[in-house]
Amino acid sequence: MARSSARTEQRILDAAYGLFWRQGFVRVSMDQIAERAKVTKRTLYQRFRSKDDLIAAALAHSSELAMQRLEQFKLPANRDAMIDSIFGQIADWAATPRWSGAGFTRVAVELADLRGHPARAIARRHKAAVEAWFCARLATAKVSSPRERAREIVLLMEGAMMLMLIHGDHGYAEAAAHAAKRLVRKN
């Protein structure tokens, strides 16, 4: 019973995150989520009191998975190759069909006027964790001022993702990688 219950919750979280990410947090209804997760609305509301709670839980779950993937991520030791690999993967991701931008960025924009929303705090923590991850990687690669360089890389990453979403042009990821390499080299 406990295992089946955990599986149901998992299914709800996956369905919710998939729909939120595709269509936006505001436009998705609890009905759609119940339908996609193949649970009744009663079951859905037993586990999550509101759509806001579900948004927060789905994002927390997604952040955990993303950080686990990052920790296992093998990066080239060479600095330039490391940067090319990161921005190359972002460009590949942005080229997937119906790509809709980064989920944590999306929630911050959609809930821009709701600073106290629990999902905003999760987006904040996630972005800070990614920045800290870069800082650790750059320090390992013996880059000097790794905190400053990590911050520049996340600035360029956010910019590249947003401008690829706007223009549908992967040239922005290449330009960002080129800038990041120069900033890391010449500091």
- What sign for the dihedral angle of Cα 41, 35, 59, 21? negative
- Rule CB under 8 A: say whether 151 interacts with a copy of itself: yes
- Rule CB under 8 A: say whether 59 interacts with a copy of itself: no
Count of chain residues binding a copy of itself (CB under 8 A): 48
- Rule CB under 8 A: say whether 106 interacts with a copy of itself: yes
* Nearest approach, Cβ of residue 3 and a copy of itself (Å): 34
Distance CA(163)–CA(175), nearest Å, equals 11
Q: How many helices (H) and strands (E) does the chain have?
A: 9, 0
* Nearest approach, Cβ of residue 123 and a copy of itself (Å): 6
**CB nearer a copy of itself, residue 12 or residue 163:** 163
Distance CA(181)–CA(177), nearest Å, equals 6
Q: Which amino acid is at 32?
A: Q
* Nearest approach, Cβ of residue 31 and a copy of itself (Å): 17
